Amino acid sequence: MAVDTDLGTVVEALRAALPAERLITDPDVLVTYASDEAEWAPWELPLAAVRPRTAEEVQAVVRACIAHRVPVVPRGAGTGLSGGANATAGSVVVSLEAMDAVLEVDALERFAVVQPGVVNDDLRAHVAGHGLWYPPDPASSPWSTIGGNVATNAGGLCCVKYGVTRDYVIGLQVVTGTGDLVRLGRRTAKGVAGYDLTGLMVGSEGTLGIVTEVTVKLRPLRDPERTVAGYFDSVVAAGEAVTAVAAAGLTPSALELVDRHCLAAVDAWKNMGLTADAEVVLLGRVDTPGAAGDVEAEQMLAAFSSAGASWAAVSTDAEEADALFSARRLAYPALERLGPLLTEDVCVPKAAVPAMLGRIEAIGKAHDVLIANIAHAGDGNLHPLLSTPPGDDAARDRAQLAFHEIIAAALEMGGTVTGEHGVGLLKRDGLAAEVSPAVLDMHRAVKAALDPHGILNPGKVF
């Protein structure tokens, strides 16, 4: 893409198109919009950032950037972990944080229409008032936005049973790479007209369009969950329990792995009184109502025990169970406080979980890198966290080698390089290794068709 050499002209065009308070050019403020949470991914200070409040304002920004051939980098809350929202030199960051309204909830048809800046947990709380539930729940749900969740096709704790963001997005309003404002999808329970352009946009990381409105389907509120906790002496043993749960025919509403490094980091930060006399804690939940749910909880307990749990029980203390799941959500920011953190997001078949956890452990030892483990273990989505001491460049180099070896191991086991964080900048080589050259060309052909000027989040994904 040929970038306008007179970048000041696009700033003037943005000033003419937007209210003054929408435009940010102060370098001290711009730096806060320059990157997401993937601190090892490269970024540059953008030319400007804008905080639009309407779809038409987003459209005006895109049209101005098309006219001047200036890259556009869409951004939500900046909680991403792959560098997908990182700015490039001379780019304009479009931050959608101010578009944060729940526009409609239809309790009969069970859908909600929201702007992209709505925080995930805020949407869930809002629709709960209508007796409804929005299932996708990434660990960052208290902070991440629906637009960002759509961009990366985010998953979460309960996606083992209920699916990921794409399974709930039925309609979108999008500003395209040609500057058009279009509606995709439907509001009906069924609809198969044309290509699934809505599904294509979900997970496209801002490379095919900027989402300005999202229609999500909802479910009825579910019954309270039962929690099963187990302690294990190794990550491999905990992985065997995950396989045993699947072999028992159970579909838990959550099955999460947290190791002692994560629990200790959370406790040091939040002083939650967490204790675990084990290397790894496995947290399972079932939400099947009535006596059948009690049976499933006992079956999960038996699966934990058969896999060698040193201790396991069905929790009778809801507050304690919630604290453990809160610790799971806080693991990443807790470890991030201790030093630079490189986060993986590989996904392998459930049968391969024990072996993959063993490979991760071996890779960490081979490269002398501390790897803390959290995982949406029930669907094979593993998040090893590679932690390095502040200022230790040699450790960072070793961690990057380990990062790429973990990706290679996941692919070798029939897995994928990302289950929910997206490709962004950190996984581009991994995507190229995962798909064939012909399939990569298909991706590029779609990109060229929908973003003919090449301005939408260039350099990301591939």
Q: What's the whole-model pTM score? A: 0.94
DSSP symbol at 220 = E
**Residue 91 pLDDT grade (very low, low, confident, very high; cuts 50, 70, 90):** very high
CB of 120 within 8 A of CB of 112?
no
What pLDDT sits at residue 271?
Answer: 83
What pLDDT sits at residue 278?
Answer: 83
**Residue 6 pLDDT grade (very low, low, confident, very high; cuts 50, 70, 90):** low
Q: Where are the beta strands (DSSP E) in 177-334?
A: 181-185, 209-217, 219-220, 226-232, 254-259, 280-286, 311-314
What pLDDT sits at residue 376?
Answer: 96
Whether residue 116 is predicted with pLDDT greater than 70 in this model: the reply is yes
What pLDDT sits at residue 453?
Answer: 97
Closest CA to 93 of 146, 44, 142, 153: 44
Coil, helix or strand for 289? Answer: coil
CB of 418 within 8 A of CB of 381?
no
Q: What is the DSSP string of 277-343?
A: SSSEEEEEEE---HHHHHHHHHHHHHHHHHTT-SEEEE---HHHHHHHHHHHHHHHHHHHTTS-EEE
CB of 90 within 8 A of CB of 47?
yes
> What does each C-alpha distance from 186 to 169, 193, 215, 269, 370 come to in angstroms?
10, 10, 8, 45, 47
Please state the rounded mean pLDDT for residues 349-377: 97
What pLDDT sits at residue 46?
Answer: 97
How far apart are the C-alpha atoms of 381 and 215, rounded to whole Å? 26
Coil, helix or strand for 293? Answer: helix
| Amino acid letter, residue 54 | T
For residue range 302-317, list pLDDT tens digits in order: 999 999 999 999 998 8
Please state the rounded mean pLDDT for residues 200-223: 97
Range with the largest mean pLDDT of 137-141, 221-225, 454-458: 454-458
